[in-house]
Amino acid sequence: MCGIVGGVTNQDITPLLLDGLKRLEYRGYDSSGLVVLSKKNSLNRARSVGKVKNLEKNLKARQNKIKGNIGIAHTRWATHGEPANHNSHPHISNQVVSVVHNGIIENYLELKDSQIKQGYKFTSDTDTEVIAHAIAFSMKSSNTFLKSVQKAINTFDGSYGLGIVSPKYPNIIIATRKGSPLVIGVGKEGNYIASDQMALLSVTKKFIFLEDGDVAELKLKKITIYDKDGNKVERPIIISKIKEGQVDLGDYKHFMQKEIFEQPQSIRDTLESRITKETVVVSAFGGKANDIFKKIKQIQIVACGTSYNAGLVAKYWLEDIAKIPCNVEVASEYRYRHPLILNDTLFVTISQSGETADTLEALKIAKKINNKIYTLCICNSAESSITRESNLTFLTHAGPEIGVASTKAFTTQLVALALLTCSIGVINQTISKQNEKAIVNGLKLLPSLINETLLQESQIKKLAVRFKDKNSALFLGRGTMYAIAMEGALKLKEISYIHAEAYPAGELKHGPIALIDENMPVIAIAPNDELLDKLKSNLQEVKSRGSQMIVFEDKDSQVKSMKAMEVIQITSNLGRITAPIIFTIPLQLLSYHVALIKRTDVDKPRNLAKSVTVE
């Protein structure tokens, strides 16, 4: 979603702000801007619609260069008001305060009406401008910058991560957050703020993760943090394990391509220390996991997008293999439907960033509804909000994922859910030692099986040409492969802008078959399982309607190729756990190469953001 970067240093801050914005581009945005406090103590601002390179050109074209030692910058993803210069951040109120903002102020119309009566003029259509005016108004009655901000934020309903500067306090940046992530970077040449630690990797590896309600005052050599009640607090400094090379393209054309090929290593890293030669290490889910897993009677999974698809796969595993009831819901719906939550439920949230707004709020609501539940998050970010809200945490080790379309985060989530399934089954004696050993052996094979699957890229690349002039596609699967078909359809529409839908193959005659003709490509997944014969019958139904078909199969499935049907053998001897993970890979490659043919922005598709931190 939107990105924030700022800092107070002993050097010119403008190059650092631009570098930070570029590092945040992967999150998705439609405009960018910055404010720097000049040596003459004035707010100098530049804003541009589109890519950060447009802002960079804007700055280079200026006769009066924007320079200074303190500043804030922002990449905006439009919520209130169209993408336009006047709606871009930072926003300024009467030249006394400037603000960058992630989140949504829900009562902004009420505040705006009040501020207009106070004499403030609005130059944008955003909710953020009320923040700047509210702080400017508070400064009239407060004797410090800190108190002005503390007073103003008490009037806001909604979520925010804020970076604030003022000419009246030329040596200070104020940072505060509620429901939107914000970190402080502790550096040798100064102190910094960002919505994502990757924005600051060029200047520091030391980070402080602010808690909800915290207000921080940053000076060149001092950081002071106050909690939501105004008490001075200490927050730990965390040393980031992210390496700068991890966020470079290397020899790849796109981050998505790089991340597809990083999956064998990401899965090795996620499995490391979580399995032994023959068993799953239950304590990988937390020190209390053993006791909690003994008590739970059902599981509720809540997630969004790709993480939701991972949850759907896990439902099959948990009920079929671990023999425990499981429900899966979209977080944005779950949080508003007044759910009934039974005692002894394991409430599982899945989020790559750990900051997904709907998933985080669903977790908070569930805890309020029933305090006799247990909570587990599966996440790729150690210091995220969701990890702090959960009893148990399982960190996937996917590493930084820059491409908006999730790849390695998804497959490592599936690995985590497989380990969860096995752990619960072993603890509750629904999985035998022999079956546990078989699952562990299958998980160990995953990296080599994925490498084998990646060898099919050249063949998949040729198939992608078929989609050059297509506007729609249909994905089919049965059992866990239905969820993988959903993930394949999501990937294709995310980055190629082709309308794609997934259906259980058995549902064809209940409506979807009406869509099928020679212009509708159909992609099917055919593992060698108990539903294979029924799937083959479904494929015959599709072919009799003249469709162009692509079938990704287990080598042992032996789907008979027909006219206008291409059968791609992926690998063999896949089990219930490994098959969904492996069949994900060709669908990722297909969507990637179709996007290349369509000439879309693979890593930053239109209208999408990497981390959805607002509703």
Pairing state between β 298-303 and 345-351: parallel
Annotate 264-290 with DSSP letters as a single string: HHHHHHHHTTTB-SS-B-GGGG-TTHH
Burial class (CB in 10 A: 0-12, 13-18, 19+), 502: buried
* pLDDT, mean of residues 570-574: 78
pLDDT in tens, 67-89: 999 999 999 877 778 889 999 99
Integer Cα distance of 536 and 551 in angstroms: 10
Question: Would you name the residues annotated as active-site residues?
Answer: 2, 610
Mean predicted confidence (pLDDT) in 30-54: 91
- Of 318-332, 349-363, 519-533, give the range with the top mean pLDDT: 318-332
Question: With 80 as the cut, is the pLDDT of residue 201 above it?
Answer: yes
pLDDT classification of 246: cutoffs 50, 70, 90: low
Question: Which tokens in the block code for residue 61?
Answer: 């074209």
Please state the separation of Cα 389 from the chain's center in Å.
17
Domain 249-452 in CATH 3.40.50.10490 = yes
Provide the pLDDT confidence category of residue 240 given band limits of 50, 70 and 90: confident
**pLDDT confidence of residue 355:** 85
Q: Please check the confidence at residue 1 and state whether its pLDDT lies above 70.
A: no
* Side chain identity, residue 134: A
Look at residue 27 in the predicted model and tell me its pLDDT. Answer: 65
Residue 245 has pLDDT above 70, yes or no: no
pLDDT of 535 above 90: no
For 270-299, how does the pLDDT look when each residue is reduced to its tens digit (9 = 90+)?
Answer: 998 898 888 999 988 988 999 999 999 999
Mean pLDDT (the chain) is: 89
Going by their DSSP bridges, the two strands 549-553 and 522-526 should be labelled as parallel
* pTM beyond 0.85, yes or no: no
Is residue 547 predicted with pLDDT exceeding 80? no
Q: Residues spanned by CATH 3.40.50.10490 within the chain?
A: 249-452, 455-615
Q: Averaged over 464-489, what is the pLDDT?
A: 92
DSSP three-state, residue 567: strand
Nearest Cα neighbor of 480 from 558, 380, 571, 582 is: 582
What pLDDT score does 542 carry? 67
Mean pLDDT for 35-51 is 91
Residue with the larger pLDDT of the pair 404 and 584: 584
- Residue 510: pLDDT over 80: no
Instruction: Looking at mean pLDDT, say which of 29-43, 422-436, 595-609 comes out highest.
Output: 422-436
Q: If pLDDT is split at 50, 70 and 90, which confidence band does 422 have? A: very high
Model confidence at 213: pLDDT above 80: yes
The two structure tokens encoding residue 10: 């002993």
- Give the model's pLDDT for residue 609: 65
In the predicted model, is pLDDT for residue 608 greater than 90? no
CATH class as words, domain 3-240 = alpha beta
Cα–Cα nearest to 162, from 146, 137, 180: 180
Indicate the CATH number for domain 455-615: 3.40.50.10490
Q: Report, in this order, helix, strand and coil percent for the chain, each rounded to 5.
A: 40, 25, 40
**pLDDT value at residue 594:** 95
From CA 298, how far away is CA 58, in angstroms rounded?
56
Task: Tell me how many degrees the CA angle 367-609-353 measures, rounded to the nearest 5.
Answer: 40
Span 220-227, average pLDDT? 95
In this prediction, residues 309-315 reach a mean pLDDT of 97
CB 309 within 8 A of CB 490: yes
The per-residue pLDDT for 137 is: 96
- Rounded Cα gap, residues 279 and 298, in angstroms: 23
Radius of gyration for the alpha carbons in the chain, expressed in angstroms and rounded: 26
Distance CA 236, CA 145 (A): 24
Tell me how far apart the alpha carbons of residues 440 and 348 are, in angstroms, rounded to a whole number.
22
